[in-house]
Structure 1
């Protein structure tokens, strides 16, 4: 990233910050997409779903009974597939991708879940991490006004889906916080106008 690109990227984020009205949203995300929105907008983390990820079927089960799961304690669980801490929240697994220890992950989870605004919840998902078509239908039926699932192709029948270009030959969307190979510095996530979304205006094109 050269100097001009860095300046433009900084200006781009500043313009977004000025547009954002809802600065206390709780973003429940299946992976790091929500975290980077908080980070780029300079907002306090008002969600426990930071630096972690879920299998999509576990994530949807989590959302189907969110208040109950938030009352449960995370138990240590050793999943040999991963080289980072994992835990069980009731019957779902949480992958603490960006924590060094299980204890640190649980401490941060408990600290941040106290900040949840139950009247200001926004839900983000992806059609990866073992997501199936049935998973998307279940997600679409979740009782949340503000929810979106990012998909690698168009699903007009899935009302909460939002198509992200660039992953058509994959099984699902890739890492949306990766930068595109363009002159202007943009992430795949920036194809989605998350400012309008958080301001309560639904799914808008950026």
Structure 2
């Protein structure tokens, strides 16, 4: 019962928070390329369209970085699908594997990928990754590799501080783990989620 009350309180508070976030947002129609669902959650909170195919899916940090290192090449590749023991489709762009974990069929995944790929705006581009990858988390070398990528607007959410990495943003609350945990969970009774520690509205607005 207590958990149900907490959820109801948080959902009510969240509506108010989202209203405030949307009123602050000046930059609209941005393309968010995210290694997992955090980008889609943020866009949903802001009431923004999905101008990127990276929605309701995830890539390993290694594959995500590989995509970003040669983004023009991968955007030109046809999305294929491979045999999957999961209960969702697994796609491939050349040598990159994409897990469409919130899609019911290959057809749905392909249609959404193609439609949203056509909306990508390279002039209003934002990149999001987390230090999450399996049980052991991401290697520091991969964080360094991400940090070197030639994108102006990029961030990687980490479970501990990395002051030497310009793109790293420390999310508090996961220090005892090997990686960032559930960013989408409410962090208390105030309607805030863990990713709210990062002021993404200010990040989107910086060039507006």
Task: Establish whether TM, by shorter chain, passes 0.5.
Answer: yes
Query: Displacement, 1:8?
Result: 2.8
TM-score (norm 2): 0.91
Which structure has the higher relative contact order (CA within 8 Å, separation 6+)? 2
The CA deviation at 1:12 is 1.2
Q: Is residue 142 of structure 1 aligned with residue 141 of structure 2?
A: no
Alpha carbons 1:151, 1:172 under 8 Å: kept: yes
Per-residue Cα deviation, 1:86-120 (whole angstroms, up to 9, x for no partner): 01111010000100111110110000010011101
Given candidates 110, 114, 120, the residue that maps to 1:116 is 120
1:154 counterpart = 2:161 = yes
Tell me how far apart the structure 2 counterparts of residues 79 and 11 of structure 1 sit (CA, whole Å): 41
Unmatched 5+ stretches in structure 2: 1-5
Cα contact 1:62–1:92 (8 A) shared by 2? yes
2:182 to 172, 175, 182: 175
Stretches of 4+ aligned residues off by more than 3 angstroms: 1-7
Instruction: Give distance in 1, aligned partners of 2:160 and 2:32.
Output: 24
How big is each residue's C-alpha offset from its partner over 1:55-81, in whole Å with a ceiling of 9 and x where there is no partner? 11000000111121111011111243x
Residue number in structure 1 paired with 2:27: 22
Matches within 5 A, 1:50-65: 50-65=55-70
CA distance in 1 between partners of 2:151 and 2:161 (Å): 21
In structure 2, distance between residues paired with 1:116 and 1:147? 16
Aligned Cα root-mean-square deviation (Å): 1.4
Structure 1, 183-192 or 146-155: larger mean CA deviation: 183-192
CA distance in 1, matches of 2:156, 2:48: 22
Kindly tell me the number of residue pairs found equivalent between the two proteins.
199
Residues 166 and 63 of structure 1: is their aligned pair in 2 closer, same or farther, counting only changes over 3 Å? Answer: same
Q: Is the aligned partner of 1:83 residue 2:87?
A: yes
Match of 1:176, SS state, is: coil
Superposed displacement of residue 143, structure 1? 0.4
Partner of 2:191: 185
Q: Distance in 2 between matches of 1:75 and 1:114?
A: 17
Where 1:119 maps in the other structure, the secondary structure is helix
Distance in 1 (CA, whole Å) between partners of 2:25 and 2:138 is 30
Task: State how far apart, in whole Å, the 1-side matches of 2:9 and 2:105 are.
Answer: 39
Please tell me whether the aligned partners of residues 146 and 200 of structure 1 are also in contact (alpha carbons under 8 angstroms). no
Q: In the superposition, relative to structure 1, how do residues 125 and 4 fare at CA in structure 2: closer, same or farther (>3 Å)?
A: closer
The structure carrying a bigger helix percent of its residues is 2
